Amino acid sequence: MEDIIVRYVTRIILPFVQLYGLYVVLHGHLSPGGGFSGGAIIGASMILYALAFNLSAGSKKLSHDVSSALESGGALLFAGMGIFAILLGTNFLGNKVAGIPIGTPGNLFSSGAIMIITFGVGVKVASTMITLFYSLIEGEDHSHDHD
């Protein structure tokens, strides 16, 4: 797709979309939204970039292999925080009982492990969207069979 309007508008709004996605992820314990919603926004922004520019330009920013690795990394971060609480001597995903410091409620850094867990979920969801898109687009080209 070689549309100058689409490319120009994409270049303008993309930073704001990604900043908003990051805001939703990092404020997951304070405001509406969280890992899933913010990750979906970030993933949609990267799919928009790959659609407005080329697929090769998109995979230059974030390749298929890197997004697959990030997908596993987000899930591992979630499980790692759970097992970290077990190593501290409490239940899986234990937060305050495990001795993780909890700041004043309402502050950005206030909920102990919840913020890190939400960030892991956000990374997982965002990279899942991108991996899904790459897998669908890069697959075998059957378009000439039906034309």
Partner 1 sequence: MSWTRRKGCSAVTEVLKYLLLLFLVVCAIAVAKTRDLLSAVIIFAAYSLIMAILWQLLAAPDIAITEAAIGAGVTTLLLVAAITKTRREE
- To the nearest whole angstrom, how small is the minimum distance from the Cβ of residue 91 to partner 1? 26
138: Cα within 13 Å, side-chain hemisphere: 14
- To the nearest whole angstrom, how small is the minimum distance from the Cβ of residue 144 to partner 1? 11
Helix axes 4-26, 113-138, angle to 10 degrees: 150
CA distance 70 to 135: 15
Please identify, using beta-carbon distances, which residue of 48 and 77 lies nearer to partner 1. Answer: 48
The correct pick among 26, 41, 52, 85 for binding partner 1 (CB under 8 A) is 41
Does residue 36 bind partner 1 (CB under 8 A)?
A: yes
- CB atoms inside a 10 Å sphere around CB 116: 16
Does residue 121 bind partner 1 (CB under 8 A)?
A: no
H or E segment at 101? Answer: none
The correct pick among 26, 33, 74, 81 for binding partner 1 (CB under 8 A) is 33
Does residue 143 bind partner 1 (CB under 8 A)?
A: yes
The correct pick among 2, 5, 32, 87 for binding partner 1 (CB under 8 A) is 32
CA distance 25 to 35: 5
- To the nearest whole angstrom, how small is the minimum distance from the Cβ of residue 43 to partner 1? 7
